Structures are given as C-alpha cells and as structure tokens.
Amino acid sequence: MYSILIDGRSYEARVEETPTALVVVIDGRRVEIEARDPRRLARKGAAGAADGVQAIAAPMPGKIVRVLAAVGDEVSAGQGLLVVEAMKMQNEMKSPRAGKVLSLSAKAGATVTAGEVLATIG
C-alpha cells in the first residue's frame, strides 16, 4: 500500500503482481503497467555471453569521466571500457564478453542519460 500526494490531495495506491505485469489500483481503478529499470537491463546484458553485437548502456544519468578503450580495440570479458560518474560515485562499465569494440559514442566530459548506449561489442 502506498500513499501518494498530488496537488495537495492524498490517494492510496495498491500494487499487485501478476505473472505478466504489475497492476496499480487507485480509487478502485485498475491500471496494468510494465516497469523497466535500466540498471536491471544492464545487468542482464553483462551476465550473458551471447553471440552477436552487444550494447553497453548507461545504468543511470551521469557524466563520462574516463574512456578506457577505443573503436577497433580487442577486449576481454570484464575489461573496463569507460567510467561513468553518477551521484558522486564512479561506475566502470565493463565489456560483457570478449570481442572487438565496434562503436564508442562516449566522450570524456559528456553527460549521458539512463539507458543511453555508450558502446557496442561484436
């Protein structure tokens, strides 16, 4: 049960989990939603060593503080590609598998948004 305050008016919201989605109930109205967390997507990509091109995305908004690889570099699984600073913490974005850096859109000093693709490995 959640209490939500909008424009000075209080609402009670209940969240129910179904096998396919989440259902939010407010004032008797039921709304089915799908929640996506960019951090969870990044972890899924890092966990698999699937064939094909894999994208490395920013887990949250931040700033690129260091670029550790270049387009064309051969990288190993777990090798650092770049460092993103978010909320005064630095997060090293690592290659999910061995391969070649196909693209690297990140530049030191640039700001990035959550889910933005920073590099691809092939």
CA 55, CA 84: separation in Å to the nearest integer? Answer: 15
Answer whether 81's CB lies under 8 Å from 119's CB: yes
CA 15, CA 25: separation in Å to the nearest integer? Answer: 6
The segment with the largest mean pLDDT, out of 20-24, 36-40, 45-49, is: 20-24
Average pLDDT over residues 43-53: 55
Q: What is the DSSP string of 16-40?
A: EE-SS-EEEEETTEEEEE----HHH
For the ranges 7-11, 30-34, 91-95, 109-113, which has the lowest average pLDDT? 30-34
User: pLDDT category, 88, cuts 50, 70, 90?
Assistant: confident
User: pLDDT category, 40, cuts 50, 70, 90?
Assistant: low
Average pLDDT over residues 54-59: 88
Q: What is the mean pLDDT of the chain?
A: 85
Domains of the chain: residue spans and CATH: 2-33 (no CATH), 38-121 (2.40.50.100)
Average pLDDT over residues 71-90: 92
